Amino acid sequence: MRAHLYAPCVADPDSQLSTHKFLTAPNLFTLLRLCCIPLFVWMLFSRDNRAGAAFLLGGLGATDWVDGWLARRFNQVSEFGKMFDPTADRLLFIVGITGIIIDGSAPLWFCWLAIAREVVVGGTIAIATVLFKMERFDVTWWGKTATFLLMFAFPGFMLGASDFWGNGGFQVAAWLVGIPGLALSYYTAVTYLPTIRASLRSGRAQRG
- Tens digit of pLDDT for each residue in 24-78? 899 999 999 999 999 999 999 999 999 999 999 999 988 888 888 888 888 888 8
Tell me the C-alpha distance between 27 and 185, whole Å: 26
In the chain, domain spans:
19-207
Tell me the C-alpha distance between 178 and 131, whole Å: 34
How distant, in Å, are the alpha carbons of 87, 136, 177 from that of 11? 28, 21, 38
CATH 1.20.120.1760 for the 19-207 domain, yes or no: yes
Amino acid identity for residue 39 in this structure: L
pTM to 2 decimal places: 0.81
